[in-house]
């Protein structure tokens, strides 16, 4: 993180150093206050009046934003995952990964409570790295890794948009044209500087994916009565196939890359656990119910994305139409977080963060247009995008959702790991998080690479239809 210093002399780094000195000398620890570019902090001396209030989210609005961001494209692959693994292993893994991701989210909240200026994994990395003289390196490594991952996820949303439009219109236009249309729509919705608007239209996103999935389940229940398909409690499959399924489950719980940014826009930061539980209870229940129901009715040949499991072409079109809001809005949330990280890095400690200046507006519009253009290029350039996205998720999401939160706790309580039974239990839990992140990364990279090598893919930059069949 750049050293954020406001016009009134506020220095985040100075406050951090003072707090560390207090801890070392045994005096009362005074935690730094948030950096005052976030509007309700304002400029303490009143010399600059803030135009933009960054603290606008209530806990339930934040929970809905995170549901819209997390429960989007990931849910569409889970019925196929359960079909691949078998009913029992699939359910167990969904619940276990849900519990682990909930705990890692709580650890992130605990970390930010101690360091309330943190707005991204880059900032968190700088805090950890500063203790060993590598703060700048960790800031760049963690921060840009988060941003690159989010841009690839944005690309997946543009690609899904083209699939949706080709399906709805019977491929009435070139796929590249549909991609350009999506690029413009995503960018326009990304022009607001805060997540306040997302707090409202995220309701539409959640209603969208929930309704689409419900219609899919109702349709397959009517078309294929229970008992008409083969159901396996467990299956014996190859390691690569099995671990790719585990990676897909991990991706479904990979909203953590946006958590710090969402926390930074809370009205009441202490409400984070309530927002997190709203997210985790909703997504875990929805994942389990959707995966089991669709697999039980469709059987081992359930497609991915699962929206294509509907029987007739007309119903499939209706379902894809219902899914449009979540395809767009979830992508916009990732775009906001990626753009905000870049914007803060450019204008750290200046009036352009809190005021709606001409330069700030132009740069924000340029950043959002730029990252969506890169996401569009990615969506058009990579033939086997789903496999490549799995590769990127193995490389990044494994760390953001599991590995790095475990590291954050180990860093926070270094020297206290075995000081009490509670600390020993927490040490064990966070060591498991770190191990899960490492395994998902290492084995996920290997399995994704092998899958890409055996997939012929499709032609990049092609007008050929990619409509769901």
362-401 residue pLDDT tens: 999 999 999 999 999 998 887 666 667 678 778 888 999 9
- CB distance 360 to 352 below 8 Å: yes
Cis omega (within 30 of 0) for bond into 84: no
Contact 272, 263 (CB under 8 A): yes
- Closest Cα partner for 259 from 156, 121, 390, 73? 121
Question: Residue 401's closest CA among 427, 431, 448, 437?
Answer: 437
Q: Which residues of the chain have pLDDT under 50?
A: 1-48
Helix (DSSP H) and strand (DSSP E) numbers for the chain: 17, 0
pLDDT for the residue 162: 93
Beta bridge partner(s), residue 11 = 5
b/e map of 34-50 (b: 16 or more CB within 10 Å)?
Answer: bbbbbbebbbeeeebeb
- Farthest-apart Cα atoms in the chain, separation: 72
pTM of the full predicted structure? 0.83
Could you give the CA distance from residue 148 to residue 140 in angstroms, rounded to a whole number?
12
Question: 284: which 2 tokens?
Answer: 């875990």
pLDDT score recorded for residue 45: 41
Distance from C-alpha of 134 to C-alpha of 323, rounded to nearest angstrom? 44
pLDDT of residue 46: 46
- Structure tokens belonging to residue 69: 């961001």
Distance CA 383, CA 416 (A): 49
Provide the pLDDT for residue 226: 64
Phi, psi of 340 (to 5 degrees): -65, -40
In order of start, what are the domains of the chain with their CATH numbers? 56-453 (1.10.4160)
Give the per-residue pLDDT at 37: 38
CA–CA gap between residue 249 and residue 97 (Å, rounded): 7
């Amino acid at each position: 993180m750049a050293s954020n210093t406001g016009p009134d002399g506020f220095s985040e780094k100075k406050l951090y150093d003072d707090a560390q000195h207090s801890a070392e000398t045994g005096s009362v620890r005074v935690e730094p206050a948030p950096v005052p570019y976030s509007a309700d902090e304002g400029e303490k001396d009143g010399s600059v009046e803030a135009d933009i209030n960054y603290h606008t989210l209530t806990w339930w609005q934040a929970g809905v934003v995170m549901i819209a961001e997390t429960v989007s494209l990931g849910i569409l692959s889970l019925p196929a995952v359960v079909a691949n693994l078998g009913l029992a292993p699939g359910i167990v893994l969904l619940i276990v990964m849900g519990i682990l991701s909930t705990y890692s989210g709580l650890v992130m909240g605990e970390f930010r409570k101690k360091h309330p200026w943190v707005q991204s994994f880059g900032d968190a990395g700088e805090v950890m790295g500063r203790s060993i003289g590598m703060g700048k390196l960790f800031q760049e490594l963690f921060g840009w890794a988060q941003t690159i991952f989010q841009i690839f996820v944005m690309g997946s949303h543009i690609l899904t948009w083209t699939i949706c439009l080709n399906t709805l219109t019977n491929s009435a236009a070139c796929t590249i044209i549909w991609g350009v249309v999506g690029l413009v729509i995503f960018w326009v919705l990304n022009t607001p500087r805060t997540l306040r608007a997302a707090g409202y239209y995220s309701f539409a996103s959640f209603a969208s994916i929930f309704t689409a999935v419900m219609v899919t389940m109702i349709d397959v229940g009517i078309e294929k009565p229970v008992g008409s398909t083969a159901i396996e409690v467990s299956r014996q499959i190859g390691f690569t196939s099995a671990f790719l399924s585990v990676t897909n489950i991990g991706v479904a719980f990979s909203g953590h890359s946006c958590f710090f940014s969402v926390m930074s826009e809370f009205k009441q930061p202490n409400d984070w656990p309530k927002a997190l539980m709203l997210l985790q209870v909703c997504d875990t229940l929805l994942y389990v119910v959707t995966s089991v129901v669709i697999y039980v009715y469709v059987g081992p040949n359930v497609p991915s994305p699962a929206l294509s499991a509907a029987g007739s072409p007309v119903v499939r079109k209706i379902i894809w139409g219902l899914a449009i809001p979540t395809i767009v809005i979830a992508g916009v949330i990732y775009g906001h977080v990626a753009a905000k990280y870049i914007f803060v890095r450019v204008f750290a400690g200046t009036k352009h963060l809190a005021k709606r200046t001409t330069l700030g507006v132009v740069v924000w519009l340029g950043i959002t247009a730029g990252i969506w253009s890169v996401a569009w290029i990615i969506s058009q350039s990579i033939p086997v995008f789903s496999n490549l996205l799995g590769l990127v998720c193995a490389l990044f999401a494994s760390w953001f959702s599991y590995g790095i939160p475990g590291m954050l706790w180990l860093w926070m309580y270094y020297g206290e790991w075995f000081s009490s039974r509670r600390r020993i239990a927490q040490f064990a839990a966070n060591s498991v998080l770190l191990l899960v992140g490492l395994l998902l990364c290492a084995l996920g990279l290997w399995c994704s690479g092998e899958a890409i090598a055996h997939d012929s893919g499709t032609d990049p930059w092609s007008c050929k239809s990619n409509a769901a069949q």
